[in-house]
Every structure is written in structure tokens, then in C-alpha cells.
């Protein structure tokens, strides 16, 4: 991902629950050629696309979505079973169909580049002859694009119609079609929840139009404390979760933390009552004398826990005397969310307060 901050661009409209939008795909998507030489195309890969994206920590930039490979195309046509390596060799008819689609993507991209290069070609020839050759070159490119477009439209239509009423999660094949102007006449994919629904022009399904996500971002590049955000759990669960979680940088100690409240600018150590008292006294300690202990939910005596914080730091805790202990409220919050652990009976009230502040 590339990011930069251009003062002439507005970042407010770039905020969304996903990395794409129909507006970005229609007007600002760029197809990148996977090659090393200016006039040659690597026909073993489909070109990636670049979309404008807001990175809260650094500003406006681009996110690159790699071109689909043959397995992804096969999955779009024939279901998840076709994504396994043994599927295409065992189904030669399906393999031929996938190869035609793959070739259509490559030919479409190359023909579009040929069409764009044609006006600057044949500069060494006389004007009339050069103009005739340019027109001929563009007509040939248009014919190739029309043929490839027809095949890709059928490919997109087949996959979307099979998925009507379902949510697309992690499937970027259709995004590559839309970035090249290949569209379904009646079906759309909701920008917010990924539902495939029937509508000619809407960008969101009916439910998401009535219940839009409200993302209040205070981006760090603009003087705020947010480094990013996510919608729902970190793992796809089938249902679209509408809770927004903000990744922030504490304005007092500088450590990273996650919160559901966009107004929260202090971590749970600095923002607690004890943390405010420590700041008033000018204490050098971030955590004071607070302690949080957890025991194994199944009664194990010797165990360990390891995970990464929102700051990217690695946390590894080993049980001593049948319990693990930490003085960091942010780490305690993460431990309280683990199903394999439960608060120490003597510390339950303190841990519950931390979990309550997390909610």
C-alpha cells in the first residue's frame, strides 16, 4: 500500500468500511501492467488494480489489489471446490473455460493500452499515412476489447447470479471486472456489507441504506489520534458485524490501543481515574500498583499466552502459581476476551471494570 498526503484532495469522502467504492471503481481505478518493459505484457498474470484509499496514519494513498489467478477464476465459476489444486486437472472442460477467461483479461488490458498508445504512434510517417495507421490500430484494439468484454461480461454475470442474496467476503474477482468497466445490468454488491442484491444503480442494499455505518475518524495525519479502524471482527464469520473499532495512539503515553468510542484519545491506563491522578501528581509510572490476574478456564496450572497488541508489540505471559499476571489494563482487556481464560476469583471485580470500559 502506498500512501501520501495531498493538501489539494479531500479525505472525508474516502472514509468507508471497505477499501473500494463504486465511485472509485468507475472513475479512479487504475490497472497496473505486470511487466518490466514498457511495451511488453506478462501474459502469465492478470494486471493488478490501484484504488484511492485513506490511511488514517499517513493520509490519502492507494491500495493495490492483485489480479486473480486461475484458481480464483475457477472458484468464481464453479464454487469453492474448484479452488483446490487438483480440480482443474481433473476437469479439463472447466480448465479450458478458465483459461479463456484468463486470456480475456490479459487481452482486454493489452488492447486498451494499444488503443491509448495509438494516437502517439507512427510519428515518423507522413500525416495522412500516420493517421490511417493510427485509426486502423485503434479499430483493431476496439475489436479485441469488444470480444474480450463479451466473454468477461458472461463470466461476471454467471458468478454474480449464482451468489445473489449472499455476501462476498475476500472475493475480488468481480472488483477486477468492474475496474475494467465490465458490469452486470441488474445485480450490485453492497459497498457496506458485501451483499449481492438486485438493483440497477444503488450502491448499498436496502438494509444498509437504512442503517449506514457512522465512522467518526480523527486521523493522525490531520492532527488526531486514530491510526485506522475496522468494521466487525478480525475474522469473517458469515454475518456482517456493524460495530466499528478504532485503532488509536494514546495522547499521553503514546501506546496503541483499540476502542469503540471515536472520542477516546487516552488508553485504559492513562484514561482511568487512577491514571488521571498519576498525571496530576506527575508520576513516571503508566500503570501504578494495579494488577490483573487470570487463570485457565479449564483449571490448567502450567500454561502460557502469546498475542500481538494493536501497536504490533508481542506479548508473552507464562503462568506462575497457576495464574498469569499483568499490570497493563490494555493487555488485561485482551486477556478478558479470550475464551480460554477467566479472571482470578480475587480480581474479578477489577477485571470486570476494565472489560466494562472496553465496551
| pLDDT tens per residue, range 179-205 | 999 999 999 999 988 999 999 889 999
pLDDT at 269 over 80: yes
- How crowded is residue 164: how many other Cβ atoms within 10 Å of its Cβ? 13
- pLDDT band with cut points at 50, 70 and 90 for residue 358: very low
**Would you give the distance in Å from CA 294 to the centre of its chain?**
34
Q: Average pLDDT, stretch 309-321?
A: 82
pLDDT at 17 over 80: no
- How crowded is residue 168: how many other Cβ atoms within 10 Å of its Cβ? 18
Rg for the chain, CA atoms, rounded: 27
SS3 153: helix
- How crowded is residue 223: how many other Cβ atoms within 10 Å of its Cβ? 7
pLDDT at 290 over 50: yes
- pLDDT band with cut points at 50, 70 and 90 for residue 7: very low
Ramachandran angles phi, psi of 187, nearest 5°: -100, 145
Say what the pLDDT of residue 12 is: 56
Q: Average pLDDT, stretch 292-306?
A: 89
pLDDT at 8 over 70: no
- Greatest mean pLDDT among 16-20, 129-133, 171-175: 171-175
More confident residue, 171 or 109: 109
- pLDDT band with cut points at 50, 70 and 90 for residue 147: very high
Residues 244 and 150: their CA atoms lie apart, in Å, by 40
Say what the pLDDT of residue 235 is: 60
- State the sign of the Cα–Cα–Cα–Cα dihedral 108, 33, 158, 27: negative
pLDDT at 5 over 80: no
pLDDT at 39 over 70: no
Q: Average pLDDT, stretch 304-318?
A: 83
Residues 332 and 307: their CA atoms lie apart, in Å, by 12
Q: What is the pLDDT of residues 216-247, one digit of tens each?
A: 889 999 899 999 888 887 665 567 888 899 99
More confident residue, 146 or 327: 146
Is the pTM higher than 0.85? Answer: no
Say what the pLDDT of residue 196 is: 95
pLDDT at 14 over 80: no
Say what the pLDDT of residue 353 is: 58
Say what the pLDDT of residue 33 is: 65
- pLDDT band with cut points at 50, 70 and 90 for residue 287: confident
pLDDT at 60 over 90: no
Say what the pLDDT of residue 2 is: 41
**How far, in Å, are 101, 165, 188, 280 from residue 193 at the CA level?**
27, 12, 12, 45
- How crowded is residue 242: how many other Cβ atoms within 10 Å of its Cβ? 16
Identify the weakest region by mean pLDDT among 91-100, 262-271, 274-283: 274-283
More confident residue, 129 or 125: 129
85, three cell numbers: 489444486
Q: What is the pLDDT of residues 199-223, one digit of tens each?
A: 988 999 999 999 988 888 899 998 9
Amino acid at each position: 500500500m502506498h500512501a501520501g498526503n495531498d493538501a489539494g484532495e479531500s479525505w472525508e469522502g474516502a472514509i468507508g468500511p471497505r477499501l473500494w467504492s463504486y465511485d472509485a471503481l468507475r472513475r479512479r481505478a487504475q490497472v497496473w501492467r505486470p511487466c518490466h518493459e514498457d511495451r511488453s505484457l506478462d501474459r502469465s498474470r492478470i494486471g493488478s488494480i490501484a484504488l484511492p484509499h485513506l490511511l488514517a496514519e499517513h493520509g490519502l494513498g492507494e491500495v493495490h489489489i492483485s489480479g486473480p489467478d486461475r484458481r480464483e477464476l475457477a472458484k468464481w465459476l464453479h464454487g469453492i471446490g474448484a479452488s483446490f489444486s487438483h480440480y482443474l486437472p481433473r476437469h479439463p472442460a472447466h480448465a479450458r473455460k478458465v483459461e479463456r477467461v484468463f486470456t480475456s483479461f490479459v487481452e482486454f488490458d493489452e488492447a486498451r493500452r494499444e488503443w491509448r498508445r495509438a494516437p502517439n504512434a507512427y510519428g515518423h510517417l507522413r500525416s495522412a499515412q500516420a493517421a490511417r495507421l493510427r485509426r486502423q490500430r485503434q479499430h483493431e484494439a476496439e475489436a479485441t476489447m469488444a470480444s474480450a468484454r463479451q466473454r468477461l461480461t458472461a463470466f461476471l454475470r454467471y458468478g454474480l447470479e449464482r451468489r445473489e442474496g449472499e455476501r462476498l467476503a475476500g472475493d475480488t474477482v468481480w472488483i477486477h471486472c468492474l475496474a475494467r468497466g465490465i458490469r452486470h445490468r441488474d445485480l450490485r454488491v453492497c459497498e457496506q456489507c458485501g451483499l449481492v442484491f438486485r438493483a440497477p444503480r444503488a450502491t448499498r442494499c436496502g438494509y444498509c441504506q437504512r442503517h449506514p455505518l457512522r465512522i467518526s475518524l480523527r486521523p493522525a495525519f490531520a492532527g488526531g489520534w486514530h491510526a485506522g479502524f475496522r468494521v466487525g471482527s478480525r475474522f469473517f464469520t458469515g454475518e456482517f458485524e456493524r460495530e466499528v473499532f478504532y485503532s488509536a495512539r494514546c495522547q499521553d503515553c503514546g501506546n496503541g490501543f483499540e476502542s469503540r468510542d471515536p472520542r477516546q484519545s487516552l488508553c485504559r491506563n492513562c484514561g482511568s481515574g487512577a491514571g488521571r491522578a498519576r498525571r496530576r501528581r506527575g508520576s513516571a509510572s503508566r500503570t501504578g500498583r494495579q494488577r490483573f490476574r487470570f487463570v485457565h478456564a479449564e483449571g490448567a496450572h502450567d500454561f502460557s499466552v502469546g498475542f500481538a497488541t494493536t501497536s504490533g508489540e508481542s506479548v508473552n505471559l507464562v503462568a506462575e502459581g497457576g495464574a498469569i499476571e499483568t499490570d497493563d489494563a490494555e493487555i488485561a482487556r485482551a486477556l478478558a476476551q479470550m475464551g480460554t481464560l477467566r479472571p482470578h476469583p480475587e480480581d474479578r471485580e477489577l477485571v470486570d471494570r476494565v472489560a466494562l470500559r472496553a465496551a
